[in-house]
Amino acid sequence: MENKFVFLDITSIGINPMNPRKTFDPRALGELSDSIKVVGVLQPITVRPKPTEEHGEKYQLVCGERRWRAAAMAGLKEIPAIIRELTDDEAVDVAITENLQRKDVSPLEEADAFKYLLDKGQSIADLCGRFGKSEFYVRGRMKLLAISDDFRKMLDAGEISISQAMEIAKFDADIQGRMYEQHFAQQYYNSWHDLNAKALYQRVVQSYTKILDRYKFDKGECDTCPNCSKNFSLFAGGDGEATCQDDSCLQRKKREYELGIALKLQKQHPEADFYTMHKDCPKKAELEKQGHEVKIWPGWPNRIGAVVTKELRSKVENGTAHLAIWVYSDDPYFGYIETNGAATLSETANSIKELQNKDNRNKELEEEKTVSEVRDTIKKMDIETLSAGELTAYESQLTLFILVRNLNKEQQEKLGTVQHYSMSDEEAWNAVMNVTPEQIAYIHRCNILNQVGDHFRRDFKTDLFFDWVNSRDKSIIPEVELKYREVYLRRKEKIDARIAEIELAEAEKGK
């Protein structure tokens, strides 16, 4: 059947989900349909056989989906086609090659196609030679893969230009999300739709990014990071001071650096307490995770050097001053806080509450670390350990508990429980403890049913499910099979008749 030309029933052809072409202009499709009504399909589509046990031979589109769609719109029953024997990889490769040779191929379709071929082992140089593109062009298209779904839709719709999309792709997902919501989702006064590429890049840098030289942490990793603007020259020209486009990474490095300074100061001055101005300070949360107490103070401590003077030491000892490591600012420092001496009743109550909160957090840490370590130990159990001994009654109950938790709300309700949302763990366990043999069978069968999924091909797993259906009701499958077998036989009769006509015509020509 290699490269065989035939006329195929349009309904016997299915689309290829791997087709690199995803968009079809409705107006252009309508114009092509009108043309086909007059002159027919001039260039055959390319298909490959896709046999199934139930329905006999069917076909999958490889090239020509636009012609196939337009022919169907024009009311054609048959379409000229070339049948080729192709593997999945070969079919995608042929479709990509045909698609990239179009004049109207979209930039994102090119990018997706280039990525597919690169993932299959081809090099940038291979793509340049195969499609007659420069390395700059291919790398530029690949950069488009970094834009968000919202901007992909805008680019496909022509609402932003390729050059704008190239600049947008330089920024991380968080910045792209905020940029889209604030400046592209609506055509308000602050819209950036009409900015040229250079102006757009500068506006994003000013609004969403940070100049790296203003930060004190080690920037060694930034020298080769693709989110550093000085590295954009690999694709398009970035200029000016180096900025970071990944705000989450920047804030993490900044926080880690500042925490390192604070912990170093605490090691140098173990008698000092950590202080901040607000309870929602990020460094407060990080330090408390590590088991440190962080106190709240409404003012700024006095900054001092590394040495505590005798006068200050005396104030600390008589309670009129406290040594402090201030973590609220971007630059943690060692200092002291002056007080009025004796604590007020309110201050005492606050101190007790702080200590109680600290104890509660310590208890939470104990539970979290215990659960985490036990979980990790269980995951590392070897096959020999898990295979030893017979299955216990408790293990059977635990397995049944897992199966109950996998049921959907409607299935759970039929076990006799009533809840507004899904069953809680406690309710599921109670159901397992009081379950009847009939309910056990029901739970297992519901789990089988939930595993059926969206199967369209006859394979080993499908056969297992079919056997299960037959064990429950032997009439279901034969009725369905008979219905579609009749459809197939009618279509086959038409195809066989058409083939016979073509072969007869060819034979007449040869005489």
Residues 274-302 pLDDT 10s: 999 888 888 888 899 888 999 988 888 88
- Mapped onto helix, strand or coil, the DSSP state of residue 9 is strand
CB 48, CB 1: distance < 8 Å: no
pLDDT confidence of residue 216 = 83
CB 266, CB 259: distance < 8 Å: no
**Rounded alpha-carbon distances, angstroms, from residue 274 to 205, 333, 347:** 35, 10, 17
Q: What DSSP character marks residue 228?
A: B
Given a cut of 70, whether residue 51 has pLDDT beyond it is no
The structure tokens listed for 476 are: 């279901």
pLDDT confidence of residue 386 = 72
The structure tokens listed for 255 are: 């926080």
Query: Rg of the chain's alpha carbons, rounded to an integer?
Result: 35
Residue 75's Cα: distance from chain center in Å?
40
Give the model confidence (pLDDT) of 456-466 as tens digits.
567 777 778 88
Residue 376 or residue 264, greater confidence: 264
Given a cut of 90, whether residue 42 has pLDDT beyond it is no
CB 18, CB 95: distance < 8 Å: yes
Residue 136, CA atoms < 13 Å, CB-side half-sphere: 4
Q: Which amino acid is at 240?
A: G
Residue 381 or residue 486, greater confidence: 486
Highest mean pLDDT among 101-105, 354-358, 392-396: 392-396
Residue 366 or residue 234, greater confidence: 366
Angle between helices 173-183 and 197-208 (to 10 degrees): 110
- Mapped onto helix, strand or coil, the DSSP state of residue 206 is helix
Confidence class of residue 6 from pLDDT cuts 50, 70 and 90?
Answer: confident
Task: Measure the N-to-C terminal CA separation of the chain; round to a whole number of Å.
Answer: 24
Give the model confidence (pLDDT) of 482-493 as tens digits.
888 888 888 888
- For residue 75, list its beta bridge partners: none
The structure tokens listed for 475 are: 């009439």
pLDDT confidence of residue 349 = 56
pLDDT confidence of residue 479 = 85
Q: What DSSP character marks residue 56?
A: B
Residue 422 or residue 258, greater confidence: 258
Buried b (16+ CB within 10 A) or exposed e, 190-203: eebeebebeebbee
Q: Which amino acid is at 176?
A: Q
Residue 243, CA atoms < 13 Å, CB-side half-sphere: 20
From CA 209, how far away is CA 229, in angstroms rounded? 10
Buried b (16+ CB within 10 A) or exposed e, 106-125: bbbbbbbbbebbeeeeeeee
pLDDT confidence of residue 343 = 46
The structure tokens listed for 98 are: 């045909």
From CA 76, how far away is CA 7, in angstroms rounded? 11
Residue 123's Cα: distance from chain center in Å?
26
Q: What is the mean pLDDT of residues 427-447?
A: 84
Given a cut of 60, whether residue 236 has pLDDT beyond it is no
The structure tokens listed for 438 are: 């009939």
Q: Which amino acid is at 41?
A: V
Residue 112 or residue 343, greater confidence: 112
pTM of the prediction? 0.40
Catalytic residues: 65
From CA 64, how far away is CA 510, in angstroms rounded? 31
pLDDT confidence of residue 274 = 94
Highest mean pLDDT among 256-265, 369-378, 422-431, 442-451: 256-265
Highest mean pLDDT among 225-239, 388-402, 446-460: 388-402
- 3-class secondary structure per residue, 25-44: CHHHHHHHHHHHHHHCCCCC
Residue 453 or residue 264, greater confidence: 264
Give the model confidence (pLDDT) of 136-175 as tens digits.
888 888 899 999 999 998 998 888 999 999 999 988 888 8
CB 177, CB 149: distance < 8 Å: no
CB 91, CB 60: distance < 8 Å: yes
Residue 190 or residue 33, greater confidence: 33
Please spell the DSSP secondary structure of 211-260, one letter per residue. Answer: EGGG--S--TGGGG-TTBGGGGGGTS---SS-EES-HHHHHHHHHHHHHH
From CA 301, how far away is CA 275, in angstroms rounded? 9
Confidence class of residue 53 from pLDDT cuts 50, 70 and 90?
Answer: very low
Q: Closest Cα to residue 279, out of 219, 229, 327, 210?
A: 327
pLDDT confidence of residue 259 = 92
From CA 113, how far away is CA 133, in angstroms rounded? 14
pLDDT confidence of residue 102 = 66
Least confident of 60-69, 127-136, 350-359, 476-485: 350-359
Residue 353 or residue 426, greater confidence: 426
pLDDT confidence of residue 350 = 58
Least confident of 17-31, 113-127, 169-183, 348-362: 348-362
Opening angle at CA 480, ends 474 and 482, nearest 5: 100
Q: Closest Cα to residue 266, out of 335, 206, 313?
A: 335
Average pLDDT, the chain: 81
